[in-house]
Amino acid sequence: MARFVLLPLTLNFTAHMFRSYFRLVIRNLFRQKVYTLINLTGLSIGLSGAFILILYVVTELSYDRFHEGLQHIYRINTESLQHEFTYGKSSYVLGTTLSEDLPEEILVARTFNLYQSHIRIEDDLREEAGIFSADPELFSILTFDLSGGNIDAFDGAPGSAVISESMALRYFGEDYPVGKTLTLDNNGDEYELEIVAMFKDVPTSSSFRPDMIISNEIALQQMDKLITTSSATPFGADFFASSWSMYLFFNTYILIPEGHTPESVKAIMDSYEGSHFDKELAIEFHLQEYGDIYFGSGHILANRGGGSKKMIYIYSVVALLLLLTATLNYILLSISVLGKRKREMGLKMIHGAGKGLVVRQILVETTLFTLLGMILALTIAELILPAISHVLFGKLLTIDYMQNWPFTIFVLVLSVVIGVVSGTFLASKVLSGRPAELMSSLDRQGKGRVRFTKIVSTVQLALSMTLIICTGTIFLQLKYFTSADIGFDLEEVVSIDISDEQINRHYETLKERIATIPGVESVSGSMWAPPTLSNMRMKIKLSDNPENEINVEGLMVDYRIAGTLGLRMVEGRDFDPEMGSESGSLIINEEAVRALGIEGPVTGTQTNFGTIVGVVENFHIHSFHSEVPPMVIQFMPGGVKALLVRIQPAYMETVLTNIEALWEEILPEKAFHQTYLVDALAELYTQESRFVTILTIFSGLNLFISLLGIFGMSRLNTERRTREVGIRKVMGAESTNVLNRFVFEYILLTLLAALFAFPGGYLLMTKWLSNFEYHGKISIAVFAISGALSLMVVVATVAWHVWKAANSNPIDAIRYE
């Protein structure tokens, strides 16, 4: 019974104690308004920056984790032994064969992105990028949260479709979409689709994000129009459904439940060589865990949209540096202000307060303060995320505290840890002396505390300088990547997308009529517009030396390709319509000449793909991450998917206006998509561009927080040494002499920080540059700017306080306290 009586009393006492501590915290915050503002500003800004980076890291690490039974889901990749590359795709027939050979509990599903699809609404065609075809088994392999209809009604027949809620909202508004129809237009072929089910939008942290799922039969019917091929004759749906060599198009997913092993499935796939396809095809199949696709597909050819663990590590480190700077800044200012409260602590201890009570008070104060900083930090993050998340990270980041519970728990725990660690450290400083010493040390700083504050300030400055060095170096490298000689002239060249089969039919007409527009210098066509992430692998050999077969990268083009792109001819000529048909003609680059071992004149040399008519200088068809490959440029207008136009600079706007008018005349229903090749080059370095933007912002935040700490500390130091300043002024010292004496110690701190920051920044950037086959040198100017900028802002921050004190009335200064 006594325990039931004591419990309410204990709870009341605890609540009363907490309220007392809370009132005490509020009182102390208002008593030191300036330092509270400085401290809270630095802490909340530092935490908000760190929270945004942590949110990005947590979001990235959560990719695909929402799928149930994730550890049992795999993607089948195809390795081409001949071309020495791995593709994240596999042949359609592999899925068919596996479904027949595997136990029924092992599920197989194939998907394909119909990227040139439109939804027809009366006379309007709306482009949709998220239309995928799939087998019905996909809904049993991956996790979809159904919100309407019956998924069993999606049986793979061409007339049914499943759509997302956002797509339903776009086309049906608030009406229930199940049972209604949509018209799919793909390259001129139309399909009436009945909506049989609806699913909630797939989370943004998903590597597979469809808006509509339709039958694979439609994809097979459209393959001839969707892929690039040198064949003038269509292959037909049956060919794509049965050919083992067509392994570049379909994703194949497989669910291997308990009781079965990936090794057993791999063994079955390995047995298909010789029994289902010839060994000469030289392919192998590999299982990749679905949860590893987002981060573990760097070896996959033309992998796009995947995550980078390296960037996760970097952003985690930057977040840690921000947290460290903000925490050190908080501790630094708290220690500096602590001297003003030591008498309060001493009085409490003299009047019988135990050390435990003092420690609890300090811990509650620091924890409540950091929790307040956390609330402000989250508020700042919530306000600015919509504006910056796409710019910085290429995706919309939102703080969903319930759904993203790991982030919420991490933020709470982190805030409490910072408060407890800071409070423990501050308590150790308070309790380091006897109560009587605390009463007499109001204005004195021990050598240990002075040394600690200088060390903290040096560390903060070193971290800021290192980030500035990294930011400046990456910025210069990005400038080098986009301005260095890439082997061809992409200025004033525009690429027009004609990959849509209906548009492609009008290619010759478009090309001829665009060539007549005043201001157009040259028109050509290419399989894709360089620079690009896309590639086509092939093997080439000389007719008189068939043993020397090399891997090359191929590009199918039209007449005048070298002139339009500005490729520099070393030998021979461009593809010229005046020469008649160029069928069977090739242009190769210098790297291909070296790899083939051709000596003497190259033009006229016979290969298994045709006759070499020209040699061009090496050019970067891809980014500087990779070496220049051996290139074979084939004359094959049938493979052209991008129309290239070189325009005289003075006529750029006029020509583009005329091209759009021509497009509207010939293809009024089709969207006009143009790209400047300069922009295509910049797009290759999107990740680096975002990286330098993030470092610029967060290194600026780091420096700002460091300066807040130095600002507060220098203000306190100036207050404590006001009497010293007054005595020096009375003794005849000039204000400039007083200023120099006080500022000199901060100059030494900045120089000491540079001794640590310069080697650290150099090592980090040397490591980063190793990711590129081609790059510029690390500039010494970046180090000079980092040091000069830090020194300038530190001196300016400190000098303001000292100059104010030095120019005050000396008598008032001597009478200070």
Q: What is the pLDDT of residue 579?
A: 85
What percent of the chain is modeled with pLDDT above 90? Answer: 38
Q: What is the pLDDT of residue 326?
A: 81
Greatest mean pLDDT among 134-148, 227-241, 363-377 lies in: 134-148
Q: What is the pLDDT of residue 43?
A: 84
**Same domain membership, residue 536 and residue 420:** no
Greater confidence (316 vs 332) lies with 316
Residue 296 phi/psi, 5-degree rounding, is -105, 30
Q: Running DSSP on this structure, what letter comes out for residue 570?
A: E
Closest CA relative to residue 287, chosen from 100, 73, 136: 73
In a domain, 45, yes or no: yes
Least confident of 235-239, 720-724, 810-814: 810-814
Q: What is the pLDDT of residue 22?
A: 65
**Same domain membership, residue 535 and residue 413:** no
Is residue 495 very low, low, confident or very high in pLDDT (cuts 50, 70, 90)? very high
Q: 118: which 2 tokens?
A: 């439109």
Greater confidence (15 vs 135) lies with 135
> CB 138: neighbour CB atoms within 10 A?
26
Q: What is the pLDDT of residue 232?
A: 64
Least confident of 233-242, 364-373, 624-633, 748-757: 364-373
DSSP secondary structure, 212-275, as one string: EEEEHHHHHHHHHHHS--S-SS---HHHHHH-TT--SSBEEEEE--TT--HHHHHHHHHTTBTT
Q: What is the pLDDT of residue 802?
A: 62
**Same domain membership, residue 443 and residue 514:** no
Q: What is the pLDDT of residue 685?
A: 85
Greatest mean pLDDT among 380-394, 404-418, 650-664, 764-778 lies in: 650-664
**Same domain membership, residue 105 and residue 35:** no
Tens digits of residue pLDDT in 725-767: 555 555 555 555 555 666 777 788 888 889 998 998 899 888 8
In a domain, 21, yes or no: no
**Same domain membership, residue 189 and residue 287:** yes
In a domain, 69, yes or no: no
d(CA 324, CA 40): 15
Least confident of 100-104, 229-233, 637-641: 229-233
In a domain, 17, yes or no: no
**Same domain membership, residue 652 and residue 626:** yes
Averaged pLDDT score across all residues of the chain: 83
Asked if the model's pLDDT at residue 7 lies above 50, the reply is no
Least confident of 617-631, 649-663, 737-751: 737-751
- Which element (helix H / strand E) includes 390? helix 355-393
Q: What is the pLDDT of residue 518?
A: 95
In a domain, 299, yes or no: no
Q: How remote is the C-alpha of 291 from its chain's centroid?
A: 18
Least confident of 146-155, 237-246, 742-751: 742-751
Query: What's the domain range around 341?
Result: 31-58+309-480+687-814
Residue carrying the six token digits 């006029």: 654
Asked if the model's pLDDT at residue 723 lies above 80, the reply is no
Output the 3-class SS for 594-646.
HHHCCCCCCCCCEECCEEEEEEECCCCCCCCCCCCCCEEEEECHHHCCEEEEE
**Same domain membership, residue 219 and residue 147:** yes
Greater confidence (248 vs 110) lies with 110
Tens digits of residue pLDDT in 23-51: 666 666 666 666 677 778 888 888 898 88
Is residue 558 very low, low, confident or very high in pLDDT (cuts 50, 70, 90)? very high
Phi-psi region of 236 (alpha: psi -120 to 50; beta: other; left: phi over 0): left
**Same domain membership, residue 321 and residue 278:** no
**Same domain membership, residue 240 and residue 179:** yes
Q: Are strands 131-134 and 212-215 parallel, antiparallel or unpaired?
A: parallel
Tens digits of residue pLDDT in 158-198: 999 999 999 999 999 999 999 999 999 988 889 999 999 99
Q: 228: which 2 tokens?
A: 């690039």
Asked if the model's pLDDT at residue 475 lies above 80, the reply is yes
Domain boundary among 258, 292, 326: 292
Tens digits of residue pLDDT in 432-465: 655 555 555 444 444 555 566 677 778 878 888 8
Closest CA relative to residue 422, chosen from 351, 328, 508: 328
Q: How remote is the C-alpha of 97 from its chain's centroid?
A: 38
In a domain, 173, yes or no: yes
Q: What is the pLDDT of residue 69?
A: 92
Least confident of 201-215, 408-422, 567-581, 800-814: 800-814
**Same domain membership, residue 93 and residue 223:** yes
In a domain, 5, yes or no: no
d(CA 232, CA 665): 27
Mean pLDDT on 77-102: 92
Mean pLDDT on 539-545: 85
**Same domain membership, residue 659 and residue 721:** no
**Same domain membership, residue 213 and residue 84:** yes
Domain boundary among 244, 266, 292: 292
Greater confidence (562 vs 417) lies with 562
Residue 171 phi/psi, 5-degree rounding, is -105, -20
In a domain, 200, yes or no: yes
Mean pLDDT on 117-123: 86
d(CA 571, CA 632): 14
Is residue 705 very low, low, confident or very high in pLDDT (cuts 50, 70, 90)? confident
Domain boundary among 669, 703, 728: 669
Radius of gyration, alpha carbons of the chain: 34
Asked if the model's pLDDT at residue 415 lies above 50, the reply is yes
Is residue 770 very low, low, confident or very high in pLDDT (cuts 50, 70, 90)? confident
Buried b (16+ CB within 10 A) or exposed e, 199-223: beebbebbbbebbbbbbbbbbbbbb
Q: What is the pLDDT of residue 816?
A: 45
What percent of the chain is modeled with pLDDT above 70? Answer: 82
Q: What is the number of structural domains in the chain?
A: 3
d(CA 814, CA 726): 5
Tens digits of residue pLDDT in 294-304: 998 888 876 77
Q: What is the pLDDT of residue 238?
A: 93
Mean pLDDT on 693-706: 81
Write the CB contacts of 817 (distance below 8 Å, at least 6 apart in sequence).
443, 723
